[in-house]
């Protein structure tokens, strides 16, 4: 879920070259020169109250807090995943505030994510206490009213699937539809919320009833 918003943030530590940040609906376009890895990490650490992403080109998106409904949808997306994982103990579940460093250089924060136990154990204790350079096996993105569907769909393919995510769900409570994206490039459209999504072979036995996203 992406919530673009103008915001005042604390600066990263002083650098040798000046960076000009042009803010438009929460996205920073053409930050030249591009923030280094260390500078981006420092910027995030200096602004812990913000959700910050960076695309492969260095553009930065600062996401606003979730609305009442959006916050509830995020929790519903992760709740059943957490319960399933506690039962199966097959991996680790991550919240919307977790930042993942991806192979294409982008830094992304899905609304819910899961990483297998095998992949999790490849990280050192030090890496686990930082912004880890690791690709989730599974992610969920839930559209908020301010998100553009086309932008989110592009994110599912470019940010997640192309970087190695095995299974990704885009859930749109606004129009009560969902999309499933897979590592083999296949995509399935779910036309209504009277459906149950399956974790398939990536999360064996996991299911999410989309009716939990229907506002009563």
Q: What is the pLDDT of residue 23?
A: 44
CA pseudo-torsion sign 66, 69, 71, 74 = negative
CA 74: distance to chain centroid? 11
Q: What is the pLDDT of residue 14?
A: 52
pLDDT in tens, the chain (216 residues): 555 444 445 555 554 444 444 444 444 455 567 888 999 999 999 998 889 999 998 888 888 788 899 999 999 999 999 999 999 999 999 999 999 999 999 999 999 999 999 999 999 999 999 999 999 999 999 999 888 999 999 999 999 999 999 999 999 999 999 999 999 999 999 999 999 999 999 999 999 999 999 987
Residue 164 CB neighbour total at 10 angstroms: 14
Q: What is the pLDDT of residue 17?
A: 46
CA distance 138 to 114: 5
pTM of the model: 0.84
Q: What is the pLDDT of residue 100?
A: 98
The residues of the chain that CATH labels 3.90.1570.10 are 68-213
Confirm if 69 and 191 have CB atoms less than 8 A apart. no
CA distance 105 to 159: 10
What is the bridge-based pairing of β-strands 167-172 and 138-142?
A: parallel
| β-pair partners for 114 | 93, 138
Q: The domain 68-213 belongs to what CATH superfamily?
A: tt1808, chain A (3.90.1570.10)
Q: What is the pLDDT of residue 173?
A: 95
Q: What is the pLDDT of residue 1?
A: 59
């Amino acid at each position: 879920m992406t919530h673009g918003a103008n915001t005042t943030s604390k600066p990263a530590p002083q650098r040798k070259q000046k960076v000009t940040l042009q803010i438009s609906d929460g996205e920073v376009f053409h930050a030249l020169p591009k923030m280094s890895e260390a500078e981006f990490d420092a910027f995030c650490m200096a602004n812990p109250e913000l959700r910050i992403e960076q695309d492969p080109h260095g553009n930065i998106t600062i996401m606003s807090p979730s609305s009442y409904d959006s916050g509830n949808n995020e929790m519903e997306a992760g709740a059943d995943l957490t319960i399933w994982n506690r039962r199966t103990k097959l991996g680790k579940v991550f919240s919307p505030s977790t930042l993942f460093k991806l192979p294409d250089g982008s830094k992304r924060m899905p609304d819910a994510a899961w990483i297998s136990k095998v992949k999790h154990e490849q990280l050192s204790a030090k890496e686990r206490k930082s912004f880890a350079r690791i690709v989730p096996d599974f992610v969920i993105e839930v559209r908020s009213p301010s998100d553009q569907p086309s932008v989110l769909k592009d994110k599912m393919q470019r940010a997640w699937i192309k970087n190695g995510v095995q299974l990704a769900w885009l859930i749109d409570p606004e129009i009560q539809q969902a999309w499933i994206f897979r590592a083999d490039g296949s995509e399935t459209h779910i036309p209504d919320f009277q459906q149950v999504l399956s974790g398939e072979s990536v999360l064996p036995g996991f299911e999410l009833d989309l009716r939990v996203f229907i506002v009563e």
